[in-house]
Amino acid sequence: MEEASAANAISEDPRPAGQARGILPAEAIRRLVEIGKVITAGDLDKDQIQPASLDLRLGRKAYRVRASFLPGPDRLVRDRLGEIALHEISLTDGAVLETGCVYIVPLLEELRLPAHLAADANPKSSTGRLDIFTRVIADNAHSFDKIGAGYHGPLYLEISPRTFPILVRTGSRLSQIRFRHGVSILDDAETLALHETERLVDADRPNISGGISVSVDLTGQDGLIGYRAKHHTAVVDVDRRGGYEIDDFWEPIRVRPDRRAAGSLILDPDEFYILASKEAVHVPPTYAAEMVPFDPLVGEFRVHYAGFFDPGFGHAAAGGHGARAVLEVRSRDVPFIIEDGQIVGRLVYERLTEQPDALYGTDIGSHYQAQGLKLSKHFRAG
């Protein structure tokens, strides 16, 4: 049977016969908004819909809470807030969220999903590169960033700045959501077949096991291998592009002349690092990818808070040839030595229901297409 279009994917039929499984592209997301399956407060921002995701916007108030929480079955987030909120903060004119604190913000978007559509959320790239820990919470949820098929209700964002205090306001975008009909994640054999035709990473014989491996580059570009975040800095306005000097917030990490130490880096606990992958990464136009954020088999550290790669990332036709994955790295409880070329994560690929009209990159003016080692858009290029 011929597969239905993405528009049919969001019909009222809870069991759309013949519907392609996978992640919905931008055109289908627009249709969700048009027919009231995604309800927004006011008009969408011009660039709010990405090739395979929708940016989520902060609402008008934030609640400082004692601790992170999940509502659990048959519990509403607003009821839990009534029990544990310490105080309420208006975001209408902007407010500073302090490091080490946990905030819950109702979002401007709500969902009325049909029975065959589920959703997943994750931080935006710029959010991860500022070390802002965010997770979406839905009513009755027993896990973060997961919205079950057929969910009707509001969305909330948990925000915990880890390194820099941040200035946010109503409409600021820290997280994004993607919609999925069924599951179409590639298994290892399918990943290898796709790599052989599309070259997903620039390696002739990649390590493929639960995804395709990505390793860290510690040889550097012009002697620079990464950045370590400074403590006790000024506030970062999350909506201000190119407004900050790198040296005020970051300590550069350079290749060491000592041969015994060259090609390695000690990750100190509670420090935040920006590094880059050794491999260039490619996401073909009809696929999306997600990096496994923490694999206990490769070491006691977490890589990449913002793990979603849009269709067209690193795609040559979209101006992305040679794009590296920027790695947001935080060590766990003990110092840990990583070596040049060490595997630090795996990319898992999933099909889209169809190719989006606009790809990640030149079509949407992305800040991170064709990137190498790169800080978030908030910092002036060195």
Which H or E run includes 198? helix 188-198
pLDDT digits (tens, 9 = 90+) for 103-147: 999 999 999 999 999 999 999 989 999 999 999 999 999 999 999
Q: Which of the given ranges, 14-18, 243-247, 318-322, 327-331, has the highest pLDDT on average?
A: 243-247
The whole-angstrom separation of Cα 7 and Cα 32 is 9
Max CA distance (Å), the chain: 65
Question: Which pLDDT does position 8 carry in this prediction?
Answer: 47
Tell me what percent of the residues of the chain surpass a pLDDT of 90. 66
Average pLDDT score over the chain: 87
The three-state secondary structure class of 316 is helix
* Average of per-residue pLDDT across 175-195: 95
Which runs of consecutive H residues, i.e. helices, occur in the chain? 26-34, 77-84, 125-129, 188-198
| pLDDT band, residue 15 (cuts 50/70/90) | very low
The whole-angstrom separation of Cα 100 and Cα 120 is 25
pLDDT digits (tens, 9 = 90+) for 221-244: 788 999 999 999 999 999 999 999
The whole-angstrom separation of Cα 361 and Cα 315 is 8
Residues 6+ apart with CB under 8 A from 324: 217, 276, 277, 278, 279, 280, 281, 371, 372, 373
* Average of per-residue pLDDT across 65-69: 96
| pLDDT band, residue 251 (cuts 50/70/90) | very high
Question: Which pLDDT does position 254 carry in this prediction?
Answer: 92
Residues 6+ apart with CB under 8 A from 260: none
pLDDT digits (tens, 9 = 90+) for 261-281: 568 999 999 899 999 999 999
Question: Which pLDDT does position 183 carry in this prediction?
Answer: 85
Question: Which pLDDT does position 220 carry in this prediction?
Answer: 81
| pLDDT band, residue 98 (cuts 50/70/90) | very high
The whole-angstrom separation of Cα 248 and Cα 259 is 30
List domains and CATH numbers for the chain: 8-181 (2.70.40.10), 188-351 (2.70.40.10)
The whole-angstrom separation of Cα 65 and Cα 119 is 26
- Judge contact between 40 and 108, C-beta under 8 A: yes
Asked if the model's pLDDT at residue 320 lies above 90, the reply is no
